[in-house]
Amino acid sequence: DARVTQTPRHKVTEMGQEVTMRCQPILGHNTVFWYRQTMMQGLELLAYFRNRAPLDDSGMPKDRFSAEMPDATLATLKIQPSEPRDSAVYFCASGLGTGGSGNTIYFGEGSWLTVV
């Protein structure tokens, strides 16, 4: 069963530490998204990539967050330094953008981050 795989599933870290979250998109998918979910803000789009190139990262605080796709099978989201307000569930999702419309995106199970 093809699925999006995220690691770690849970992470507790101290304020100021670096956090790296990893995502393996579904093989063959050319579009990868990073979302952050909190009770107050719901699902926020942080960044997304098409064919490994960043298309939009306007939702991401640039001073501490960075997102990359070193290769087609790996996407990373890094927070440095982390702050308590970064505590949230971070979802990676992937899809096959065909240039048409109505493309389904597939979510991983999320990385639950707690910064203390």
Q: How far is the CB of 81 from other proteins (least distance, A)?
A: 27
Q: How far is the CB of 3 from other proteins (least distance, A)?
A: 9
Give the residues lining the site for other proteins (CB under 8 A): 4, 31, 33, 35, 41-43, 45, 48, 50, 55-56, 91, 93, 95, 97, 99-110
Between 86 and 95, whose beta carbon lies closer to other proteins?
A: 95
Between 20 and 107, whose beta carbon lies closer to other proteins?
A: 107
Q: How far is the CB of 15 from other proteins (least distance, A)?
A: 26
The DSSP code sequence of the chain is ----EEE-SEEEE-TT--EEEEEEPPTT--EEEEEEEETTTEEEEEEEEETTEEEE-TTS-TTTEEEEEEETTEEEEEESS--GGG-EEEEEEEE---SSS---EEE---EEEEE-
